[in-house]
Structure 1
Amino acid sequence: MEREPDGDPSSAAMEDSMEAEENLEEDSVVEMTEQTVAGENASVDLGGAALKEKKPSSSSEDDDSDSDSDSDDEEADELRVSALERSLAENPYNYEAHVQCIHHLRKLGHIEKLRKARESMNEHFPLTPKMWQDWTKDECSLSSSSEDFTNVEKLYERGVYEYLSVPLWCDYLDFVQEHDQSVSQCSPTGISKMRNLFERAITAAGLHVVEGNGIWEAYREFEQAIFLTIAEDNNEEKAKQVNRIRSLFHRQLSVPLVDLKSTLMAYKLWEVEQGNAKDIDSADMDGIPSNVVSSYQKAMEMFKARTIYEDPLLNKEATDNDKLQHFMNYIKFEESSGDPARVQILFERAVSELPVSSDLWVAYTSYLDRTLKVPNVLKNVYSRATKNCSWVGDLWFRYMLSLERICASEEELSAVFEKSLQCSFPSFKEYMELFLTRVDGLRRRVSVVGTNDGFQGHTLIRDVFQRAVDYLSPDMVSINDLLNLHAYWARLEAKLGNDLVAARGVWESLIKKSGSLLEVWQAYIAMEIEMGHIIEARSIYKRCYSKRFPGTGSEDICYSWLRFEREYGNLDDYDLAVKKVTPRLQELIMFKNQQEHKNSIMSAQKDSTKDVSHKRIMTNTASDKQSPAKKQKHSSPKSVKTSYKDSIKQSDGVRGLGENDEVPSLPEVPESHAIDEKAAGSSNSNKTKSKFYKDQCTAFISNIGFQANEGHLGEFFADCGGVTAIRILKDKFTGKSRGLAYVDFSDEEHLKAAVAKNRQKLLGQKLSIARSDPARGNKRTTSGKGPGQPDQGQSSNIYRRGTTSSSGADVLKSYETNIKPKGSNTFAAPRAVVRPLGWTDGKAKPKESLEPPKSNEQFRDMLLKK
């Protein structure tokens, strides 16, 4: 079983490991017993875990076989230890590997390695009471000097610190009585030391309902032994000792413990020996003070009330969840009685049996925080709680808060904080809370002590914030947590550190990482407004109002700027905001409408493809009967292009195009417009279905760099304002820019401002900007020329206005602007225009061939002749 800090190991798994370790120890004891019975002169090494026998030599073959088997076992254990050590080097949080390694080392008798293995395990996990007993017994068997005694005593102190264990306390008391010379010689110093140790044991385990009697009886036996060492003539000292023993009896009889009636009988017997009671079997309790009798009766009532809670805990087959529920019910009952000491010892019993139950530790520490605010007790319990359940962030948060309440030193707080960061928590929210809890404590301390005693709180706060930002990326925590962290940091930099530049630097660093989030900009602006920096807030609005944010963020920031200027700015500021925001909002609305239209078309297409097989059958049937005109209509794009080229080449109106000359390409059809034509399904297929642009307020731009896009043009005309649409003309086949574009403006004022930027550079190239005039060609149509002789303006305008894309329009517009054809020649004849009757081959008729007009008389003569 691996007990790793990145998960919540169940107490059942923990108990399984403990039982496995105990079973291994039992096996070693059984092996020791068998070897002791089988042989003679057996030597016990390390508490009987490894035995080396000296058997009577019955035959040389038996001796050889025994030695071979022993050597094989040792080699196998050595190999297991080596493998376990390698495993622990890679993963020191493998609980089961620690247990197995200690077991095999104890069996082999490697003292130094065994000590290191136990210390290594105790660095990462608390040891069970059974493991502490084994360790202390092994060290006790090897101790021979006063220094060894001190080391074993320290081991016992560490053991009783981690878990409540009455057997471990009894072993500790027996060890001190046997090996401490000052105690064994009954010196005043030794007696005082032993009494203090017994009082500690009574405080720790004396209220244990089931096992507490062992501590009380050991204490009484010690005091009675001291009584026997007092000289017979020293009546005063004997009287004091008698009162001390009587006081122990009275204290024990007032505690609800198992077998309390036997304690009462022992007390009556002792009082009879002292001559204060008549008979041990008397029912009237003669010689026993009334207060003792009432305390005893109350204790018996308390014991009976607790038996209903104690009995389920004695069930060895109960699951850990059942035990936890029984303990919580028991604790709730003890809390109602109002005795904090009894509640605390019940918690200690519970965590001893369920050491990895995080709910139990949380309840225990919470109770101590609100009831027993004793510094040493709080430190003890929180230290053990975080060691048993290191993956529970709530324990670490309240651990630091508890240390702050008891005015712990900065070194203690820093040590706990650094240790908490080494743990693995289930989510990054726990790490965020750790950093914030640490900052809270430093801020409060700075507000109290300032920078006295060399405490540089502001520097520590900045360091903690920086570590938090480096540790927690925007992908790990929610945007709200990230904003709260930076807002807290910036506020402390401005208010606590009086460093406004550093406060703004906090937000600027976040913008570099998460500048696409509207909430970041809003929080930055809110800080400036809160501090009264209106100009700085306005500059931030100018930086971000044109940015693209998810959802409705782009519209929200525009409206937020207007609201800001309405509340804080003057009229000029408000007008400037309106001028900047209005075209941006128009762009956003137009883009939204386009998206909605495209979505509706796509949904319509999906609905139309539900019965595809039926439509295909109908199409194939109709194709056999359709007229040649129909076939021509539904011909492929390739055939359309071919006919278009042929018509252009056959036209006498196109000059300079040979057989292999390139014909101007067809204008592109935007996807949205093509979908409109397809969805319309109009029967009048010969008529143009493309979208016509009126170009009322449109600028035509040429000589644009091929790398320029709509964004570059938008920025170029940003100072003019009023941009509603930008159309860059692209090649039909390659999709690359032709260097031409149309830019639509909302009114004449903005258009004039745009035309005024003629010959200014964009990406290193001077732009040619002119007003687009679609009415020019229409006027020339009625200028007096016949229908068979369209002029240049008419043909180019028909070409440009009759397409669904602006690419062809751009080409012709450039020719209109830069090329001035002479005579009746035109640039190109659009395919949509059919040559009218009477259209000549383009050669002007000589004037002399024209007859003069006839008079009325001449017409009359012609009719009379006929």
Structure 2
Amino acid sequence: MAASSNAEETQLQDMEEDAGMEREMESDDGEGMGVENSDDEEDDSSEDEKENEAEIQRLEEQLSINAFDYNCHVDLIKLLRQEGELFRLRRARQKMSELFPLTEEIWLDWLKDEIRLTEEEPNRERVYELFEKAVKDYICPDIWLEYAQYSIGGMGSPGGVDKVRSIFERALTAVGLHMTKGETVWEAYREFENAMLSTVQPPPGRVPTHEEQELLNTQLERIHTLFRRQLAIPLMDMEATYAEYEEWSEDGVPETISHQYKRALQQMENRKAFEESLLVAEPPKLAEYQAYMDYELKEGDPARIQITFERALAENCLVPDMWTKYTTYLDRQLKIKDLVLSSHDRAVRNCPWTMGLWKSYLLALERHGVCHPVFVTDVFEKALNAGFIQATDYVDIWQAYLDYLRRRVDFSKESSKELEELRAAFSRSLEYMKQDVEERFSESGDPSCTIMQIWARIEALHCKNMQKARELWDSIMTKGNAKYANMWLEYYNLERSYGDPIHCRKALHRAVQCTLDYPEHVCEVLLNFERVEGSLEDWDVAVQKTETRLNRINEQRAKMAEKEANLARQEEEKAEQRRKAKGEKKNQKKGQKGMRAGEKRKAEPDDYQNEWDEESDQAPKRHRGDADPGTEEYMETETGLFGRRTPAGHKPGPPGQNDKPELRNDNNSVFISNLAYTLEEPEGKMRTLFETCGPLKEVRPVFSNKGTFKGYCYVQFESQASVPLALKLDRQEVEGRPMFVSPCVDKNTNPDFKVFKYNSSMEKHKIFVSGLPFSCTKEELEEVCKNHGTVKDVRLVTYRSGKPKGLAYVEFADEAQASQAVLKMDGMVLQDNKISVAISNPPRRNLKEKPGSSGSMTAMMPRQVYGSRGRGRTQLSLLPRSLHRPSGPANKAENGTATKPIAGTVNAAGDTGFEAQTKPLSNSDFARMLLNK
């Protein structure tokens, strides 16, 4: 091999020298013929060569630093090919092919260059090897066609014809089903067999011998078979092939072949739309290929499914999901070793950063019995160097490798080479996670110490080595896991199964002292353990220790609650001060507006009042029908009965004509909201829904001035007893949206009224589930939760539109069942979604505490409010300085109340009082201010 390599290098160097001499001779010939070669042109040429050489060196240096820079490889190959650096070009291509699958264009350029360089017979085998590498990267009809045509040139060698036929048959297997490009391979194969037919036909006029006639018949049968095989599969323009067969065959087309052709033609018509969509689509054509693959998967033909996947991957080789779907299909359906392993290998070479592809590759290698050294050196070590994007990916790949090593061990033997290798791998994995992963990502990829837990279980279960298991768990607890109840209970269960009661008791006593998240549950487990295993002395010690711990925990919680309550009270006082200041400012502006309006027109007796009620600091109520006839203003509250019912096409009449105030009765009514704007006949549908609650007096949907439904309405019953039944219909779906049903209250007389159905403090008997799949139903979640206790209620959280948020609240019979559900369900995988489970502790609602109310509410920390879009990037004012009004010290607060300027006075800054500030400015005034005049 070394001698052949040196010979190839010498040959390449000689060819480079010959190429240089030819360029010099051409230059001399040009000078002799009178072609002008100026010194400037020679200088330009040398300068270009220097620049290209410098760029080549830069690219080579960059690749020495980062060998996985794909674009850098491509640029280097392009420059070396341009400069004619044949030896360096071959080396660059070889390095790139070791790291990445090469595209069809790169392979064809490389193959054509090598064919030109190896025209001599002894070097054909090298080109054959290169072709074999090329056809493994992607399914490319053009490369297979080039391979077959090149093999035809070697027919003269021994076995050359059989080699050509073998390559053509492999090409048909690989790309013969390609609907748009497969036909070219079939035609090339038939042309070759027709050429071979001419070599076995006897000269005209001579009768062939028996042997010659057998050879002729055999060759004719080969061509017949090719036609029949091609016509049995769907290909584009297969009608022309059928016509060619009719013309070529002396006996016509057999009926069976004609039937197969018609069936294939129908299959082609069924797929023609997919092929046309691929022709007109822009790369990467993911949606078009996905639709095509869905169709082929439904049809179920493995060969067509494979060729469709291969075509999609040739154009989308960097899409990990596409490789995952393909390899999963091969693992579960075809299960052909060579095909499965080669596809997995191509997948990780294209997307080395995807841990899931490496994990699937390891499982496939084990499934097909690949030898252990190949498994370790060729795949797993490459996976560690692949450069995953998450620290947790390294945990998963190590787990897959450790699972494989564990399955190799025969634990019936006390010691073995495989067991020592497993333990060494566990130790190496922990060291790798500590040194490599944590340094690279600045975080632990395995905070729960999953690998150490698995190791401890293996030592306890299979090796009966509890001492090693306890050492591992001690290390787990020292890594910050001692505060979690579930970690202590995992260790307790391990001791319970494989240890002894003494260590179980020690573990639970330590758990009671260290647990911070669920100390009540750990205390309960300790007491239950002593009920079954302990003596009276053990019971007394456990009771004393648990009571002391829980009393301390409750004291800490009380202090924290008191602190939160104080913060909440301070925040409420600040909010109340801001509301009062805002109300006074609003009243001042309303008064100014009323005074300006009074100067322009006289108030009429029938008009509504503009004066303010000084005692309540509120504007007087405007009943339905009290609006100004010249305006379209109607006062509508969220849960009040002031909604104006305006059917489509209705024109507002005189005030008070359409609605009568005497119909209002809040005690007998409910307010319905969150209905769809497109709801047809809302009155009829609401009447149908609420008739089950009791006799109805009136249903009033609210419409806009244009006659469109506004999404809410009022339902008034004959009796007040029907209201509680109606409130139970809250959150019932109406045409896909949850309907909100709330008490009907006039917010003008009850401004602080808010409806919030659910508790906003910690609920220890209820759990909060997040990360649920959107397709999860209430019944499915309830079925899962039943395994951990008695489920009283399940509530799925949705948006106002009715779409699920992936959240839910589940209420259990008591706190112990809820704690048990948290420990068992947290991290569970439900429909491929990993869910999170915790005790329900909703964020505090912004509600005002009323006098006499019991219970403390969890306070939120004060937040700085900067408006609906948040704080701007800059606090610069965009108002011209000429328009700024300086704020003087006149408006100072006394006893918490801002003093108002007196009309007609001038403050220290030179501003006049109320009347002077509200005096309108003319256009000339604005012009003088803008021009600083």
1:462 is aligned to 2:437 = no
Q: In structure 1, the residue corresponding to 2:269 is in which secondary structure? A: helix
For residue 154 of structure 1, what is the aligned residue in structure 2? Answer: 129
Q: In structure 1, the residue corresponding to 2:409 is in which secondary structure? A: helix
Structure 2: distance between partners of 1:365 and 1:174: 32
| 1:34-89 CA-partner distances (Å, limit 9, x unpaired) | xxxxxxxxx9969x999976535455753534433322221111011111112222
1:253 is aligned to 2:231 = yes
Count of aligned pairs: 546
Structure 2: distance between partners of 1:609 and 1:361: 59
Q: CA deviation at 1:371?
A: 1.4
Judged with a 3 Å threshold, the aligned counterparts in structure 2 of structure 1 residues 515 and 338 are, in CA distance, closer, same or farther, namely closer
Amino acid at match of 2:492: I
For residue 63 of structure 2, what is the aligned residue in structure 1? Answer: 88
For residue 507 of structure 1, what is the aligned residue in structure 2? Answer: 473
Q: CA deviation at 1:382?
A: 0.7
After TM superposition, the structure 1 = structure 2 runs for residues 688-767 of structure 1, keeping only pairs within 5 Å, are none
Q: CA deviation at 1:542?
A: 3.4
Amino acid at match of 1:211: K
For residue 496 of structure 1, what is the aligned residue in structure 2? Answer: 462
Structure 2: distance between partners of 1:60 and 1:258: 53
For residue 715 of structure 1, what is the aligned residue in structure 2? Answer: none
Native 8 Å contact 1:49 1:106 kept in 2: no
For residue 334 of structure 1, what is the aligned residue in structure 2? Answer: 296
Structure 2: distance between partners of 1:44 and 1:380: 41
1:381 is aligned to 2:343 = yes
1:296 is aligned to 2:261 = yes
For residue 406 of structure 1, what is the aligned residue in structure 2? Answer: 368
Q: CA deviation at 1:152?
A: 1.5
Native 8 Å contact 2:63 2:73 kept in 1: yes
Q: In structure 1, the residue corresponding to 2:180 is in which secondary structure? A: coil
Amino acid at match of 1:336: K
Which deviates further from its counterpart, 555-564 or 208-217? 555-564
For residue 318 of structure 1, what is the aligned residue in structure 2? Answer: 282
Structure 1: distance between partners of 2:479 and 2:23: 62
Structure 2: distance between partners of 1:63 and 1:373: 68
Q: In structure 2, the residue corresponding to 1:520 is in which secondary structure? A: helix
1:587 is aligned to 2:578 = no
| 1:85-119 CA-partner distances (Å, limit 9, x unpaired) | 12222222222111111111111111221122112
Native 8 Å contact 2:101 2:137 kept in 1: yes
Amino acid at match of 1:86: E
For residue 203 of structure 1, what is the aligned residue in structure 2? Answer: 173
Amino acid at match of 1:520: M
Judged with a 3 Å threshold, the aligned counterparts in structure 2 of structure 1 residues 552 and 150 are, in CA distance, closer, same or farther, namely same
For residue 353 of structure 1, what is the aligned residue in structure 2? Answer: 315
Amino acid at match of 1:262: A
Structure 2: distance between partners of 1:89 and 1:358: 27
Structure 2: distance between partners of 1:253 and 1:610: 83
Q: In structure 2, the residue corresponding to 1:399 is in which secondary structure? A: helix
Q: CA deviation at 1:258?
A: 1.9
Structure 1: distance between partners of 2:90 and 2:306: 33
Judged with a 3 Å threshold, the aligned counterparts in structure 2 of structure 1 residues 471 and 63 are, in CA distance, closer, same or farther, namely same
1:77 is aligned to 2:41 = no
> Please, what TM-score do these two structures have when normalized by structure 2?
0.55
Judged with a 3 Å threshold, the aligned counterparts in structure 2 of structure 1 residues 527 and 492 are, in CA distance, closer, same or farther, namely same
Which deviates further from its counterpart, 571-580 or 380-389? 571-580
Structure 2: distance between partners of 1:166 and 1:516: 61
Q: CA deviation at 1:301?
A: 1.3
Q: CA deviation at 1:397?
A: 1.6
For residue 225 of structure 1, what is the aligned residue in structure 2? Answer: 195
| 1:681-723 CA-partner distances (Å, limit 9, x unpaired) | xxxxxxxxxxxxxxxxxxxxxxxxxxxxxxxxxxxxxxxxxxx
1:536 is aligned to 2:503 = yes
Structure 2: distance between partners of 1:135 and 1:506: 55
Amino acid at match of 1:566: R
| 1:173-217 CA-partner distances (Å, limit 9, x unpaired) | 121221x3xx235x4x22222211111000001111111111111
| 1:325-376 CA-partner distances (Å, limit 9, x unpaired) | 1111112222222211111111111111211122221111111112111000
Amino acid at match of 2:132: E
For residue 394 of structure 2, what is the aligned residue in structure 1? Answer: 431
For residue 445 of structure 1, what is the aligned residue in structure 2? Answer: 408
Native 8 Å contact 2:147 2:167 kept in 1: no
Q: In structure 1, the residue corresponding to 2:448 is in which secondary structure? A: helix
Native 8 Å contact 2:144 2:171 kept in 1: yes
| 1:240-280 CA-partner distances (Å, limit 9, x unpaired) | 11111111111111121122122223223322xxxx34xxx
RMSD in angstroms over aligned alpha carbons? 3.2
For residue 274 of structure 2, what is the aligned residue in structure 1? Answer: 309
For residue 156 of structure 2, what is the aligned residue in structure 1? Answer: 184
Q: In structure 2, the residue corresponding to 1:426 is in which secondary structure? A: coil
Q: CA deviation at 1:459?
A: 2.5
1:523 is aligned to 2:490 = yes
Larger Rg: 1
Native 8 Å contact 1:106 1:114 kept in 2: yes
Native 8 Å contact 1:49 1:107 kept in 2: no
| 1:413-448 CA-partner distances (Å, limit 9, x unpaired) | 22322211112223233222212222222333336x
1:133 is aligned to 2:108 = yes
Native 8 Å contact 1:396 1:420 kept in 2: yes
Native 8 Å contact 2:175 2:182 kept in 1: yes
1:243 is aligned to 2:221 = yes
Q: In structure 2, the residue corresponding to 1:62 is in which secondary structure? A: coil
After TM superposition, the structure 1 = structure 2 runs for residues 839-850 of structure 1, keeping only pairs within 5 Å, are none
1:393 is aligned to 2:359 = no
Equivalent residue for 1:102, pick from 77, 88, 93? 77
Structure 2: distance between partners of 1:60 and 1:308: 59
Amino acid at match of 2:407: R
Amino acid at match of 2:395: M
Q: Percent identity?
A: 33
Native 8 Å contact 2:362 2:380 kept in 1: yes
> Please, what TM-score do these two structures have when normalized by structure 1?
0.59
| 1:288-320 CA-partner distances (Å, limit 9, x unpaired) | 2111111111121111111111001112x5242
Structure 2: distance between partners of 1:402 and 1:450: 27
Judged with a 3 Å threshold, the aligned counterparts in structure 2 of structure 1 residues 83 and 307 are, in CA distance, closer, same or farther, namely same
Larger RCO: Structure 1 or Structure 2 (Cα < 8 Å, ≥ 6 residues apart)? 1
Structure 1: distance between partners of 2:412 and 2:375: 17
For residue 185 of structure 2, what is the aligned residue in structure 1? Answer: 215
Q: CA deviation at 1:483?
A: 4.9
Q: CA deviation at 1:451?
A: 7.2
Q: In structure 2, the residue corresponding to 1:139 is in which secondary structure? A: helix
Structure 1: distance between partners of 2:443 and 2:319: 28
Judged with a 3 Å threshold, the aligned counterparts in structure 2 of structure 1 residues 142 and 49 are, in CA distance, closer, same or farther, namely farther
Native 8 Å contact 2:141 2:181 kept in 1: yes
Listed as ranges, the gaps of 5+ residues in structure 2 are 1-16, 203-208, 579-933
Q: In structure 2, the residue corresponding to 1:210 is in which secondary structure? A: coil
Native 8 Å contact 2:395 2:445 kept in 1: no
Native 8 Å contact 2:63 2:72 kept in 1: yes
| 1:493-548 CA-partner distances (Å, limit 9, x unpaired) | 1222232222122112212222543233332222101225111111223344333x
Native 8 Å contact 1:50 1:108 kept in 2: no
